[in-house]
């Protein structure tokens, strides 16, 4: 995909959704960090159902710690890998209190030092909570980067580095949201819905099916 196509690609996604937001429910940086930690191998819908019960009771590091392992697990048991996630969240709360005054740090290194927080989670927090133009690459964005020709790469770091180079600066702040939502709802894993894609003509992927299946 050349520069002219990349510009059109993001202009159209931006026109379709000028102010994209995460589908995770949160009201503070700590709630966001918690939700993202819980979202690994889980859907945003499933995480939101759990945090809808958890946050009114415990939405700060001190309150999460007061629940203890079993207490926290009782709120997030519907989420996959809930036991290990509860353990990581409790460890994270200890570190936030002991090293950061109970606040979520505005630093990639400090975020990635938290248990259960990898590069993708750090990028999400830096982008959404602190407004940094980072691009968190999940399975949807990895697929999209390679399929469309926007940012081909063998692993998520390669795709992220390529995206940071090729996404026009004016679109970098919201690129993560546009790409993840497009990959989630249009450029789907099993069958991309090219017939309703606003960027299909500037995408390198050539679908054999440009019309919707019968019945749609």
What positions carry a catalytic annotation? 120, 138
DSSP character string of the chain: --HHHHHHHHHHHHHH-SS---SS--SSHHHHHHHHHHTTTS-HHHHHHHHHHHTTT--SHHHHHHHHHHHHHHHHTTSTTHHHHHHHHHHHHHHHHHHHTTS--S-HHHHHTSTT--HHHHHHHHHHTT--------HHHHHHHHHHSSS--SSHHHHHHHHHHHS-GGGHHHHHHHHHHHHHHTS-SSS--GGG-TTGGG-S---S--SPPTT-
């Amino acid at each position: 995909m050349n520069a002219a196509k990349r510009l059109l690609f993001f202009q159209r996604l931006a026109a379709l959704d000028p102010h994209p937001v995460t589908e995770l429910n949160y009201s503070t940086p700590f709630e966001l960090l918690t939700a993202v930690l819980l979202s690994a191998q889980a859907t945003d819908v499933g995480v939101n159902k759990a945090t809808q019960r958890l946050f009114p009771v415990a939405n700060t590091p001190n309150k999460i710690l007061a629940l203890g392992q079993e207490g926290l697990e009782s709120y997030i048991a519907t989420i996959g890998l809930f036991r290990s996630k509860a353990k990581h969240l409790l460890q994270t709360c200890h570190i936030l209190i002991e090293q950061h005054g109970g606040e979520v740090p505005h630093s990639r290194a400090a975020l990635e030092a938290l248990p259960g927080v990898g590069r993708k989670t750090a990028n999400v927090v830096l982008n959404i909570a602190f407004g940094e133009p980072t691009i968190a690459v999940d399975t949807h964005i990895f697929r999209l980067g390679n399929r469309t020709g926007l940012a081909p790469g063998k692993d998520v770091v390669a795709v992220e580095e390529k995206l940071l180079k090729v996404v026009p600066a004016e679109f970098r702040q919201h690129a993560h949201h546009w790409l993840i939502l497009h990959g989630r709802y249009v450029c789907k894993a099993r069958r991309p819905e090219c017939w309703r894609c606003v960027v299909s003509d500037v995408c390198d992927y050539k679908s054999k099916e440009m019309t919707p299946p019968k019945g749609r």
